[in-house]
Amino acid sequence: MNRNLFDDEHLMFRDAFRRFAAEEIAPYHEQWEKAGIVPRDVWQKAGALGFLCLDAPEKYGGGGVKDFRYNAIVTEELTRIGATGVGFGLHNDVAAPYFLHYANDAQKERWLPKMCTGEWITAVAMTEPNAGSDLAGMQMTAVKQDDHYLLNGQKTFITNGINSDLIIVAAKTDPAAGHKGISLFVVERGMAGFTRGRNLEKIGLKAQDTAELFFDNVQIPVENLLGEAGRGFYYLMRQLPQERLSIAVMAAAACETALETTVQFCQEREAFGQPIGKFQHNRFQLAEMHSETQIARVFVDRCIAEHNQGQLTAPDAAMAKWWTTELQKRVVDQCVQLHGGYGYMLEYPIAKMYLDARVQQIYGGTTEIMKEVIGRSLGF
């Protein structure tokens, strides 16, 4: 099925980013997986070519184009080559919008230019050891004292946690107010009292640096308050649909990549004198996965179009996120089975896809939370 989502400009952008990924990422990603981190110079190379902060105004060095299709292309191309460690999606799709929507002019001038060049890498710190999906249950506090806030607490599972230079941190400025007492702060690399824990060892996404962060009386200047105090929960909820759409884009692309790899394997691998894809059971499985992947692609593309028009709702983003990520888990698992013993070997791409897929149903809101969002939209 042909996709009609993209114009010629998008196709040119895809070709350019695909060449960049083939030259600067694909040959090195395996060693980055062993190192547990992506080198910072890759970010600066991407920034120099205009692949970061695509919707930031040109005066700050961004692309100046408010079109999520470009973001989707970056995610799809990284997924296609299995470059799950490169955190451009978190930087472009998740963190950058907070700066663009809630930072004042002075803050934008301070932070956006180096975000666009890749000199400064971003992260968003919401999750705590005892507060994941329940953001209102977070324990980190920020106490106002004259011209600064004192930030205390801990965050965990933070993507880009080691590499990050600017971290959007959610903390309670009014603990008695529940979710209405949450505010957002920008913590900068090198601030006294801010330390990073270990680079967490995960079952997948091996090249992606995921860390614990600790804040011990970190003095945050009032100039680093992002938006208005007490509006943090609202800001987080407003930005989550794009984050969830970004995850759905990755999931749909992962399904397509896994299926393409497996179809080729089933054409080449023979058993009992014929390609294994010719056995009816295997052929039916491939037919089912192909159909479901096409359905997922159509829905995700529609969500991208709706998002570009400012019409993507939180329930629709939740549908896209839970459906595509659960499909990804199922498709990749079936593809491993069709590979047989080879599917369990890390030298085959499908094995890595299997390990990388599992977190998709967890971060950005678990499948259960997605269903809760959808269910509440039905009036329950």
- For tokens 């791409």, what's the residue? 349
User: Looking at 33, 243, 256, 306, which residue is catalytic?
Assistant: 243
**What are the residues whose beta carbons fall under 8 Å from the beta carbon of 260, sequence distance 6 or more?**
none
In angstroms, rounded to a whole number, what is the distance separating the alpha carbons of residues 50 and 70? 11
Provide the b/e sequence for 115-146 (b: ≥16 CB within 10 Å): bbbbebbbbbbbbbeebbeebeebebbbeeee
- Report d(CA 174, CA 162) in Å as an integer: 29
Cβ-proximal residues to 303 (8 Å cutoff; 6+ apart), any chain: 245, 248, 312, 316, 317, 320
H helices of 213-276, in order, are 232-268
| Residue 365 near residue 133, CB atoms below 8 Å | yes
Identify the CA nearest to 115 among candidates 147, 142, 88. 88
Q: Which amino acid is at 192?
A: A
Active site residue 243: yes
Residue 80 CB partners (closer than 8 Å, separation 6+) = 253, 257
Catalytic residues: 243
